[in-house]
Chains A and B, each alone.
Chain A
Amino acid sequence: MVLSQFLILGALMFSIGVYGLLSRRNAVTVLLAVELMLAAVNINLIAFEAFWNTAAAHGQIFAIFVITIAAAEVGIGLAIILLVFRNRASGNIDQLDLMRW
């Protein structure tokens, strides 16, 4: 198995996620970018797990925890975005500028 291919895929996905998070203005798209970053982490974990191939399977356990908690975080994030949308009728994070410095 070629470990580096998976790591490169993970690094690419992570970078796309970081770019999306910094460049996108829509809160929901930002959430998608975060999901991409967490998926990159999972690819890394599973690839490393296959590489070490231990009985304890820590990588897989870690990945399952990451998936579960990522789901919970998206739930929290969507709740917050919905709240903001209801008050402002806009999901654009650039308009969140009530407080500066």
Chain B
Amino acid sequence: MDLDYHALAPELVVAATILVVLGLDVVLPRPRKYWTAFAGVLGLALAAVPLLTLAFGDGPETRSMLGGAYVVDGFALVLKAVFIVGGYLVLLMSVSFIESDRYYQGEYYLLMLTSILGSLVMASSRDLITLFVGLELVTGPLFLLAGWRKGDAKSNEASLKFFILGVLSTAILLYGMSFLYGLTGSVTFEGIREAAPDLLDSGAFRLAVLFTLVGFGFKVTAVPFHFWAPDTYEGAPTPVTAYLSVGSKAAGFVGLLLLCYKALPSVTEIWGPALWVLAALSMTLGNLTALRQDNVVRMLAYSSIAQGGFILVPFAAAAVSSDAAVIQEAASATIVYVIIYAFMNLGAFGVVIAGARRTGSTMIDDWAGMWRYAPRLAVLGAMFFFSLAGIPPLAGWYAKFAMFLSILRPGNAWTTALAVIAAVNAVIALVYYARIGKTMWMDHVPEGADRSAVATRPLTGSLALALGISALFVVVAGILPFEFAGVFADLAKVVTTGI
């Protein structure tokens, strides 16, 4: 069995970093434990190098190994880049956060890197077994990270709730996968794609597809499989929440993209309506509940459920059309939305971490008048929240624009109805995002709150760097969206080939 080591290099570098962090954690004396953070951040940055040589080198465009079960192509490379950059930003945000806790640091970076490694594996997986192993590698460490604050009852609760619903979703997913394999006789996406059209009338096959969708529905926190998310997001340490809402969610969407476009493109009448309902419910319920939140982390949790609904919208467009161009556009709309969402949501969580450090609270009202004592943070906050709302010229507008374009293209009554629901929700979302902006910029500092001490707690360098990178991306991708999206035009072709 011959492996293409160049294609595997990003995963190998991350795996080596994990071992180095583990070793350092054992060897280093207590005051030097922070070196594990350097090793983790550095290793993850190194993992991006082989990605670049793979993307711009002269080798074959598609590298396939293990009998087609593990493929490195344009789709895999771009998503790996998103996972690595997103993971890098989360690690940067974690450094100061973890230092202020009294716990050891090594295992935090170890678990976080393991989860990132899992998402890299998922992006390349082209069969059910690899997809499953990758998904478990993503979520397993996150169960533990959610409970990172061992003495904090809320963190315990977040971890246990996440674990129980996580394993339930895994079991449902596996049950669906066992039938997918059993009915098609194949575990590779290619084999399933070939066998699927003959099974269209089989009730068991229908059930298998729906079970698998439910499994991924949990991972992408689609309503009605979302109820673990707000509690887990609130209880977990904030950098972990940032990773949960971006990294693990994006991994779920990668699974859905592969499943729908690679394995089951011929049975759109099964997954299309299901995802239509999930998208409509997620957008509506997520937004309406987010309106009522007073805690900014909980608000972001519901907002990320709603954003997940927007990301699901293009799937419904692809399902009703047999035109290759429309399907391609839908796939690229989903990918572009995931990428932009990753940066703006990480930025928003960076602002939450910085804001909580300054004010000691994540309640929205406590952030009133922030521009008076933390003007730069207030600017960044307004930027990321308005980007999430989709206000030009920040990147969020293009994500929503591409999503609406893809859903309006088929011109079917159902897709138009979904476009209307999405439009109404985009307006509702603006209300609660703008509320934070208003609180930070227009309200007065709460009476009796002492904000004079906050000046002595400036941002740490790593957090500032993470905020800077996210902000740069949000501005540049928002001003030059078509150049940005042009990079991904070919990508969608790779995902949707073979339909």
Contact = CB atoms under 8 A, between A and B. Distances in A.
Interface of A: 7, 10, 14, 17-18, 21, 27, 30, 34, 37-38, 40-41, 44-45, 47-48, 51-52, 54, 58-59, 61-62, 65-66, 69, 72-73, 76-77, 79-81, 83-84, 87-88, 93, 96, 98-99, 101
B136 interface: yes
Contacts of A37: 168, 171-172, 175
Interface in B366-414: none
Interface string B159-174: 1110110011011101
A21 B172 CA distance: 12
Contacts of A84: 156-157, 159-160
A80 B147 contact: yes
A1 to B, nearest CB: 13
Contacts of A99: 154, 157-158, 230-231, 234-235
Q: Which residue of B159, B182, B231 has the most chain A CB atoms within 10 A of its CB atom?
A: B182
Given A14-B175, A62-B181, A80-B159, A98 B164 contact: no
Q: Which residue of B150, B181, B186, B234 has the most chain A CB atoms within 10 A of its CB atom?
A: B181
Nearest to B137: A69
B185 interface: yes
A11 B153 CA distance: 37
Given A58-B187, A87-B151, A76 B181 contact: no
B185 A54 contact: yes
B179 interface: yes
Interface in B164-200: 164, 167-168, 170-172, 174-175, 177-179, 181-182, 185-187
A88 B157 CA distance: 11
A34 B44 CA distance: 34
A69 to B, nearest CB: 5
A96 B157 CA distance: 6
Contacts of B132: 62, 65-66, 69
A76 B166 CA distance: 12
- B interface, over-half SS: helix
Contacts of B133: 65, 69
25 contacts: A17-B171, A34-B168, A37-B175, A41-B175, A44-B175, A48-B185, A62-B128, A62-B129, A62-B178, A65-B132, A73-B167, A73-B170, A77-B143, A77-B163, A80-B143, A80-B144, A80-B147, A80-B156, A84-B156, A93-B160, A96-B156, A98-B153, A99-B157, A99-B230, A101-B289
A18 B140 CA distance: 21
Contact of A98 (B144, B157, B167, B175): B157
Contacts of B231: 99
Nearest to B161: A96
A19 to B, nearest CB: 12
A41 B173 CA distance: 10
A44 B180 CA distance: 11
Q: Which residue of B140, B174, B177 has the most chain A CB atoms within 10 A of its CB atom?
A: B174
B25 to A, nearest CB: 18
A41 B132 CA distance: 13
Contact of A38 (B144, B171, B230): B171
Contacts of B154: 98-99
A79 B111 CA distance: 15
The 9 closest A-B pairs by CB, nearest first: A48-B182, A37-B171, A44-B178, A41-B174, A99-B231, A58-B187, A96-B157, A52-B185, A34-B167
